[in-house]
Amino acid sequence: MDLVKTEQAPEEQQITIPDILPVLPMPDMVVFPYMIIPLFVNRERSAKAVDQALAENRMILLVSQKNAAVDDPKAEDLHDFGTVSVIMRMLKLPDGRVRILVQGFSRAKVELYDESKPYITAKVQPKTEPQVIPDSIELEAVIRNVKSSLEKMVSLGKNISPDLVAIAANLDDPARLSDLVASNLDLKVDKAQEVLELIDPVERLRRVHDLMAKEIEVLEVQNDINTQARGEMDKSQREFYLRQQMKAIQTELGEGNEIQEELEQYRAKIKKAKMPQEVTEEAERQLGRLERMHPDAAETATLRNYLDWMVSLPWSKATKDNLDLKKAQKILDEDHYGLEKIKERIIEHLAVRKLKKNSRGPILCFVGPPGVGKTSLGKSIARALGRKFVRMSLGGVHDEAEIRGHRRTYVGALPGRIIQSIHQAGTNNPVFMMDEVDKIGADFRGDPSSAMLEVLDPEQNFAFRDNYLGVPFDLSNVMFITTANMLDPIQPAFRDRMEIISLSGYTEEEKLEIAKRHLILKQTEEHGLKKNQVQFTDEGIRAIINLYTQEAGLRNLEREIASVCRKVAKQVASGEKKSRKIHTD
């Protein structure tokens, strides 16, 4: 490391200020005369200015920037008033930066900047301060006020060195006193620049006193905030005190705009969600807690998550039912062959809805062996009604919390699967299918069947209360459909709330028609085959039904048809172009 050190301080030698000086731009500070301060020089042009000053007379002009964000300032980015300073020491650090120790010497007006060299230079005119009238009563009053204000700032908690207070107490020169105090007030750059540009010492001292008075007001308000926060503090909860103090400071200084913006967004979403009165009050209460809470508190994430769930649920959003009975009948016939009893029940429900709009929907339970189309029938019903469709499998569910949700006191708590499914649907009146209700289990964590009673009971589900939300949600507009393979495992109280519709196995003729109308078309499309590339005869389909499948439903039949389609797809992909006909030979 290279060390350059001067032999004397600038006050100990006669200094003549040259007309042209290298310029060191100051991004975010103002250096006053008599002020000694270390500076880091990071910019290449600034480092060259320092080298030039050391090569000549160690004198350099320190000028503050108009905008601290400008990284490579030009002449137009600098003020036209600065401080002629002397470089007392210079240290080159291993990382390439330069550290200098400078002392302000004199104010100077910049008459002209020159950028023709690798660094900025300035033609300067040093400013000589006018003589003050000694023993002036007005001057004595201002000096005393400044010293008194300095002591008061210390008493109010301002971080000022005791040495500074002692030096100021022995100073009667208004020029030195004003610069000394101004350099220790933590002024903003624009305010400090104003003080620097005042040549008259008395006028400058008055300006410094005004700035001190404003600082004292801020300190007094800060102390009032501290006192107020302590008055509201529970002695056993220091954390609460810190939160109150932070809130009071933000309110007094008008800070925390991002937090306020987030809170306003939540308020707007709560209003837009059109929640019931009880739900709105709870959401606003939790929003108030979030507003009072410190932004970095651990519980804020939990509250935000809760409010996000509250404002995103479809409290008042519903789809309009399709009450065209003929259109609904057509959709049901397109999707399913047979099942006349179920189709008739859906059309009856639509007819009642058409006559009485606020009628409650039925809770249907489809009971039948696997593969008879219970789940697909639910989707078809939703399409016929013009509603959204959601499905939840209850097979193997043992924990009641999966239905009702977890309380928010638990880490990672979420609403139960009922509310999550409603959220997924985006409306409060979907067709909600619950598969495998006969396979719900019960253990030490509770009995999910009991929780399901509240969901399916028309006398209770208008106010279903999820443990996570803690407020009622109206499920009375939801059309619930459940499925089961057997009735026996279902609890009697649970079974009593549902309308049981049995789906027996299909006959051979029904399987034949379903295969021709649905399964073959579906599998040929899924395997990339055209209609003329594979053809199933009735005899071929019957052979598959009787010889390769023995089931009440259609799953194995669909698998066998898929197997045939795969073999045909293999031949087609190999280049064979002739059509394949599936028959008994």
> pLDDT tens for residues 215-237?
889 888 888 887 776 665 555 56
Residues 473 and 344 in one domain: yes
Identify the helix (H) or strand (E) that includes residue 448.
helix 448-456
Residues 13 and 110 in one domain: yes
Residue numbers of the domain that contains 283: 256-312
* Nearest in space to 55 (alpha carbons), one of 14, 93, 95, 21: 21
| pLDDT exceeds cutoff 60 at 9 | no
Find out whether 31 and 60 touch, Cβ atoms under 8 Å: no
Q: How far is CA 197 from CA 75, 83, 114, 309, 362, in A?
A: 18, 10, 21, 58, 85
Find out whether 363 and 345 touch, Cβ atoms under 8 Å: no
Determine, yes or no, domain membership for 240. Answer: no
Residues 287 and 406 in one domain: no
Residues 455 and 542 in one domain: no
Residues 394 and 347 in one domain: yes
Give the range among 410-414, 497-501, 529-533 with minimum mean pLDDT. Answer: 529-533
Q: What is the pTM of this model?
A: 0.50
Find out whether 300 and 293 touch, Cβ atoms under 8 Å: yes
Q: What is the rounded distance in angstroms from the CA atom of residue 47 to the CA atom of residue 570?
A: 77
Token couple for 31 = 């250096």
Residue where one domain finishes, among candidates 502, 518, 536: 502
Of 204 and 322, the structure prediction assigns the larger pLDDT to 204
The DSSP code for 362 is: P
Task: Name the average pLDDT for the chain.
Answer: 82
Please report the pLDDT score of residue 207 as a whole number.
Answer: 92
Torsion-angle region of 528 (φ positive above 0: left; ψ -120 to 50: alpha; else: beta): left
Rounded to a whole number, what is the distance in angstroms from the first to the last CA of the chain? 99
Token couple for 205 = 């001292």
Residues 363 and 457 in one domain: yes
φ, ψ of residue 37 in degrees (nearest 5): -150, 140
CATH code at position 332: 3.40.50.300
Residues recorded for the chain: 585
Please report the pLDDT score of residue 406 as a whole number.
Answer: 86
Residue where one domain finishes, among candidates 502, 521, 554: 502
Determine, yes or no, domain membership for 231. Answer: no
User: Percent of the chain at pLDDT above 70?
Assistant: 90
| pLDDT exceeds cutoff 60 at 580 | yes
By the 10 Å C-beta count (0-12 exposed, 13-18 middle, 19+ buried), 409 is classed as exposed
Residues 264 and 403 in one domain: no
Residues 474 and 522 in one domain: no
Torsion-angle region of 547 (φ positive above 0: left; ψ -120 to 50: alpha; else: beta): alpha
pLDDT band at 513 (very low <50, low <70, confident <90, very high): confident
Determine, yes or no, domain membership for 41. Answer: yes
Residue where one domain finishes, among candidates 70, 92, 126: 126
| pLDDT exceeds cutoff 60 at 1 | no
Of 543 and 312, the structure prediction assigns the larger pLDDT to 312
CATH code at position 532: 1.10.8.60
The CA radius of gyration of the chain, in Å to the nearest whole number, is 42
CATH code at position 220: 1.20.58.1480
Residues 329 and 443 in one domain: yes
Q: What is the rounded distance in angstroms from the CA atom of residue 87 to the CA atom of residue 60?
A: 7
Please report the pLDDT score of residue 8 as a whole number.
Answer: 40
Q: Which long-range contacts (CB under 8 A, 24 or more apart) does 45-50 make?
A: 45/72, 45/118, 45/119, 45/120, 46/119, 47/98, 48/118, 48/119, 49/22, 49/23, 49/24, 49/119, 49/120, 50/22, 50/24, 50/87, 50/90, 50/98, 50/100
Residues 493 and 347 in one domain: yes
Average pLDDT rounded to a whole number, residues 415-426: 91
Determine, yes or no, domain membership for 418. Answer: yes
Each residue's pLDDT tens digit, 453-464: 878 887 888 888
Give the range among 44-58, 147-161, 256-270, 278-292 with minimum mean pLDDT. Answer: 256-270
Residues 437 and 568 in one domain: no
Going across the sheet that includes 479-484, the strands are: 389-393, 431-435, 479-484, 364-367, 499-502
pLDDT band at 583 (very low <50, low <70, confident <90, very high): low
Determine, yes or no, domain membership for 47. Answer: yes
| pLDDT exceeds cutoff 90 at 81 | yes
How many folded domains does the chain comprise? 5
Beta strand pairing call for 81-92 and 59-64:
antiparallel
pLDDT band at 442 (very low <50, low <70, confident <90, very high): low
Q: Is 498 helix (H, G, I), strand (E, B) or coil?
A: coil
Determine, yes or no, domain membership for 248. Answer: no
Determine, yes or no, domain membership for 250. Answer: no
Residues 152 and 269 in one domain: no
Each residue's pLDDT tens digit, 341-365: 878 887 887 888 778 777 777 788 8
Residue type, 78: L
Determine, yes or no, domain membership for 251. Answer: no
| pLDDT exceeds cutoff 60 at 452 | yes
Angle value at C-alpha 364, between 486 and 389, nearest 5 degrees? 110
CATH code at position 82: 2.30.130.40
